Amino acid sequence: AQRVTQPEKLLSVFKGAPVELKCNYSYSGSPELFWYVQYSRQRLQLLLRHISRESIKGFTADLNKGETSFHLKKPFAQEEDSAMYYCALKNQAGTALIFGKGTTLSVSS
């Protein structure tokens, strides 16, 4: 079965603290994983994808096939990082994305 699990509904951290948003997946074969972000009053948008191995706004995510995880990390959280974050997996047919339930990140000063 293809599935994306984000175990935390809400993650609250202080400004400057490290952030790790957890994402685990279930998939047969080589998965393609993504992180999407939705800031307040803005559209849902792509943050990063694992195949690019990029860092966007200080966030990185590494695919760990052994642990079937794709956690999103940032060493020093900023208040503007407060948003809803969704982990997503391309389905087996390659035709659409399967999304997790999302994690709300709240960064306070």
Partner 1 sequence: DGGITQSPKYLFRKEGQNVTLSCEQNLNHDAMYWYRQDPGQGLRLIYYSQIVNDFQKGDIAEGYSVSREKKESFPLTVTSAQKNPTAFYLCASSINAGNTGELFFGEGSRLTVL
Which residues lie closer than 8 Å to 101 by C-beta, 6 or more apart? 6, 9
Least separation in angstroms between residue 101's CB and partner 1 is 4
40 binds partner 1 (CB under 8 A): no
Residue with tokens 């175990």: 7
Output 13 or 98, the one with its CB closest to partner 1: 98
How far apart are the two ends of the chain, measured CA to CA in Å? 41
Least separation in angstroms between residue 98's CB and partner 1 is 7
Output 73 or 90, the one with its CB closest to partner 1: 90
Residue with tokens 């993504």: 34
98 binds partner 1 (CB under 8 A): yes
Q: How many helices (H) and strands (E) does the chain have?
A: 0, 11
According to CB under 8 A, which one of 7, 53, 96, 108 is a site residue for partner 1?
Answer: 96
Least separation in angstroms between residue 96's CB and partner 1 is 5
The backbone region for 88, taken as left when phi is positive above 0, alpha when psi lies in -120 to 50, beta otherwise, is beta
Q: Which residues bind partner 1 (CB under 8 A)?
A: 6, 9, 32, 34, 36, 43-46, 49, 86, 88, 90, 94-102
